A and B are shown apart, each in its own frame.
Chain A
Amino acid sequence: MLNVQCSMNFKFFPHTQDDLQAMMAKAGVKDLDGLYAQIPESIRFRGDYKLPSEMSEMEVRDVFAKLGSQNKQLTCFAGYGVYDHYTPSVIPQLLNRSEFLTSYTPYQAEISQGTLHYIFEYQSMMTELTGMDISNASMYDGTTAAAEGMMMAVAAGKKQNKVLVSAGMNPKTREVLDTYALHQGIELVTIPMKDGVTSKENLEALLAEGSVAGVMVQQPNVYGIVEDFTGFAEACHEQKALFIMDSVASDLAVLKTPGEWGADIAVGDGQSLGIPMLFGGPYVGYMCCTEKLIRKMPGRIVGMTKDNRDQRAFVLTLQAREQHIRRQKATSNICSNQSLMALFVTVYCSLMGKQGVKEAAELSYAGAHYLCDELKKTGKFQLVYDKPFFNEFFVKYDGDVDALYQRFIDAGFLGGVKFEDGLLFAVTEKRTKEEIDNLVKIAAL
């Protein structure tokens, strides 16, 4: 039973006894229970929730400290879509500005210029990295951005409902694509690999079968290999299919861009731009496209305009594309973005700047190639595919890979990701030469 007495003395509830009496009188009820008089008694919850008793801040801290101590802290050599990059100390401090943190979607442009302004910067930065014309205001993560890219291609392709997906896509992304495709009635067809890269012959044969709305590839692919997509976009466009590229955002600081490869849609995860791994999220998905496709793009977009005082201003725009207007005609149900994480990568790109993103990428490249060489020198490892890679590579181990993996963990290392009987190692600018040498010592045992 709810009584007046219980609603007291809690730090998040400001109601005093006098307040309660005055407010209930205004609301025309005798007690708080009276506010629910319309609810049938048969469905009222009258019990006590089986939850812990209220905790002070110190007790909450204690609970989290105990949970935290049960996680083993490992030096990370794993990637597979999630990378352990460096986070400049400025970023968390700015993200904690509560005017950013505790604000809603910037529908009221007059008091949301802060958010709108940084989203415009974010869009500009993502188009710079991808070499594309247009970016939306961000998506949940890389895998859902890929799913949205797939649906966008089908929506743009009218009656074509087939999407070809390279076998070089990360299986985690593929699983999400499969989920969306099943319910959307999209036919996903896998383009097989040849020697660790997407087979162009197979792509062309599949395209020739017709009704293909889109073709999706990943760069670098799941083995870390930087593929040569020469001729892919042309082959797609000949068959009126859109070419979709999924890339690791930070790699685009140096790699040939989706724009240069002729992609129509570029998607991927922005986590590699300094966002902590945090057991899987929050991250941020990006989605960019050519100017021609802007009205097919899902999600929010911020544009420049003027206010009635003739000042430059930013505002959510092209909303006729969005779910709250289109309702059941919508081709995406996205109604938010991942705003705060978009701010994260915006501040990251501002601090690192034109040179810093390149330098971090070069360090990651150098570290990964050094590790690969050192592992090969032990005589126990070899690259599964002898192809150019960036900061992630796939090796076979001449021995018991499970035992090796456990040895790494016992020594405090996350020694890559076990996958297809091999190990996929990733190196970022955070890994020192000493850490790599220590890892190799264990690998050589």
Chain B
Amino acid sequence: MNNRLYGNLIFELSKEGRKGYSLPKNNFGAYEIPASMKRAEEAQLPECDELTVVRHYTNLSNNNFGVDTGFYPLGSCTMKYNPKINEEMAAQPQFQNLHPQQPADTTKGALALVTLLEKSLCELTGLAHFTFKPYAGAHGELTGLMTIDNYHRSRGDKARKKVIVPDSAHGTNPASAAVCGLEIIEVKSLANGQVDLADLERLVELEGSSISAMMMTNPNTLGLFETRIPEIAKLIHECGGLMYYDGANLNPMLGACRPGDMGFDVMHINLHKTFSTPHGGGGPGAGPVGVREGLQEFFPVVSPYFGNFGVMMRAYAYILSLGREHVKEVGPLAVLNANYIKESLKDVYELPIDTVCCHEFVFDGLKDKSTGVTTMDVAKRLLDYGYHAPTIYFPLLFHESLMIEPTENESKETLDGFIAVMRQIAEEAKTNPDEVKSAPHTTPIGRVDDVLAAKHPVVTYRQLKAEA
């Protein structure tokens, strides 16, 4: 990583008169854009030659960490390997140049792919239909809740505006419900991390006719399977609500369980998690929504066409590569990897719920709290050793949450290396806590001043120049 050498903004590399493009000559004759249409000042975009641009972004990439760089134990994000064949398939020119308004008889191959992927996802989830319009997981949640809301509206059941969510839910769940115009009621968790059935019964009794849906992920955000899911689904269905499955944690279920069989009516899938499409630094992902037979007519129009079609191509290539033989091994191996790490570290990190976990688990910081070393410090110290940090301070049930998800692609050697470093950090916390608290030391930049950024926002080059 060579941040110092190549730390400039592309604007700072610009020099008037340079160009990095070539376009054909204008041979259409004199067609001048009328002045009345035109902007007064040119957009101040950079002027650079091609090599400068290539070198700039190549060097920026060196200041990044990806799954291809190293182990990414990021809980709830399923940072699995992104197979290269997926990229090759998505780049095929026979698909790249398709305009979404082309008549159906000129896009038969693309439409066939949509159908094939839909069939595969139905088979893997036990649901009947999927819409591919949602662009991301959160967009899928919103789409799923809108589907449910449309269903209740169609029946004239207009009072159903409340969504039950476990207090351990992903932060997006309540936000999606709010954007859908629904209200959240939280159901408590038991000490073992599972939904408190007694509390749920109380809520259903109290709110029965106003309950739109219950929204859950299973395994839950602690990586624990909600064993009483059949009873939960029965309670909700009996009061007239629908069951929504947040597919963020679908990966460990491949080969073990299907949301449709667990009693869920509506779900979204993060293709960028379970189906290996790259996260791209925060998108594009895809959040297709699946439903039980009969609910498909309530799908809302949340985007114009087939969502992120390129992401769907990658997911289908992945399913073909795995085939029915290997897709069912994804879950068990992901779960094995998670349990192996958990068991190897629970003597030095606090494990609040000591049981077999699914694809991920949560430590509540270091076991020895006397050192003053926090979860944040452990996370930052991991960067020094060449690992991405786990998810930290989520779920909110614990103060020092450290959530680890290894995925099925990681080898025993990789896990052993990570375990050794995690133990070493625990040791350093006792012998040299300052070293841990001031980490990272080997990254291109050190810990950043978040407060300065928020107090005095500088978010464009124009503002940056005005500052100087």
Contact = CB atoms under 8 A, between A and B. Distances in A.
Whether both chains belong to one complex is answered with yes
Interface in A95-126: 96-106, 108-115, 117-118, 120-121, 123-125
B23 A356 contact: yes
A281 B343 contact: no
A276 B172 contact: no
A167 B61 CA distance: 44
Contacts of B208: none
Contact of B43 (A129, A228, A360): A129
A143 B323 contact: no
B28 A32 contact: no
A43 B229 CA distance: 9
B460 A317 contact: no
Interface stretch (A204-212, A339-347, A378-386): A339-347
B326 A13 contact: yes
B309 A278 contact: yes
A432 B24 contact: yes
Interface stretch (A14-22, A193-201, A237-245, A393-401): A14-22
A77 B118 CA distance: 31
Given A67-B109, A99-B66, A329 B281 contact: no
A13 B304 contact: no
Nearest to B317: A60
B177 A102 contact: no
B345 to A, nearest CB: 11
Nearest to A170: B304
A340 B280 CA distance: 5
Given A6-B329, A131-B39, A24 B24 contact: no
Nearest to A294: B457
A338 B176 CA distance: 18
B33 A362 contact: yes
Contacts of A328: 174-175, 177-178, 183-184
Interface in A396-436: 409, 414, 417, 429, 432-433
B198 interface: no
A134 B410 CA distance: 41
Given A55-B320, A128-B462, A281-B306, A140 B136 contact: yes
Interface string B38-82: 111011111110100110111011111111110010100101011
Nearest to A148: B179
Interface in A1-35: 2, 6-7, 10, 12-15, 19-20, 22-24, 26-29, 32-33, 35
Contacts of A331: 178-179
B278 interface: yes
Contacts of A311: 3-4, 7, 445-446
A61 to B, nearest CB: 7
Contacts of A356: 19-21, 23
Size category of the A interface is 35 or more
Contacts of B356: 27-29, 35, 37-38
B460 A124 contact: yes
Contact of A349 (B45, B142, B283): B45
Given A15-B412, A69-B94, A353 B21 contact: yes
Interface in B144-173: 146, 149, 171-172
A159 interface: no
A255 B110 contact: no
Given A94-B57, A179-B302, A13 B408 contact: yes
A113 B60 contact: yes
Contact of B172 (A43, A98, A313, A333): A333
Interface in B96-150: 96-103, 105-110, 112-113, 120, 123-124, 126, 135-139, 141-142, 146, 149
A7 B332 contact: yes
Contacts, number: 655
Interface string A50-76: 111111010111011111111111101
A144 B135 contact: yes
A108 B278 contact: no
A300 B453 CA distance: 13
B50 A90 contact: yes
A278 B89 CA distance: 12
A343 to B, nearest CB: 7
B257 interface: yes
A308 B177 CA distance: 39
Contacts of A43: 229-230, 257, 261-263
Given A35-B339, A303-B459, A333-B138, A68 B45 contact: no
Contacts of A361: 33
B449 interface: yes
B445 A309 contact: yes
B178 A330 contact: yes
Contacts of A88: 20-21
B307 interface: yes
A218 interface: no
B303 A140 contact: yes
A331 B45 CA distance: 32
Given A49-B327, A278-B309, A304 B459 contact: yes
B234 to A, nearest CB: 12
A206 to B, nearest CB: 24
Contacts of B123: 49-51
Contacts of A191: none
A44 interface: yes
Contact of B282 (A32, A143, A300): A300
Interface in B412-468: 412, 438, 440, 443-450, 452-454, 457-462, 464
Contacts of A20: 336
A172 B355 CA distance: 50
Contacts of A277: 96-100
A366 B23 CA distance: 14
B188 interface: no
Interface centre among A255, A309, A327 (most CB of B within 10 A): A327
Contacts of A228: 36
B328 interface: yes
A268 interface: no
Contacts of B256: 36, 39, 44-45
A442 interface: no
Nearest to A419: B101
The 7 closest A-B pairs by CB, nearest first: A54-B323, A280-B305, A68-B94, A340-B280, A114-B64, A102-B66, A70-B109
Given A71-B110, A112-B281, 15 more contacts: A40-B229, A45-B256, A51-B123, A52-B323, A61-B89, A103-B66, A113-B64, A124-B462, A278-B96, A279-B100, A280-B309, A305-B453, A333-B141, A337-B283, A429-B23
16 contacts: A14-B411, A96-B87, A111-B388, A123-B460, A128-B45, A144-B139, A278-B95, A281-B307, A323-B175, A328-B178, A353-B19, A355-B47, A356-B20, A356-B21, A362-B33, A370-B29
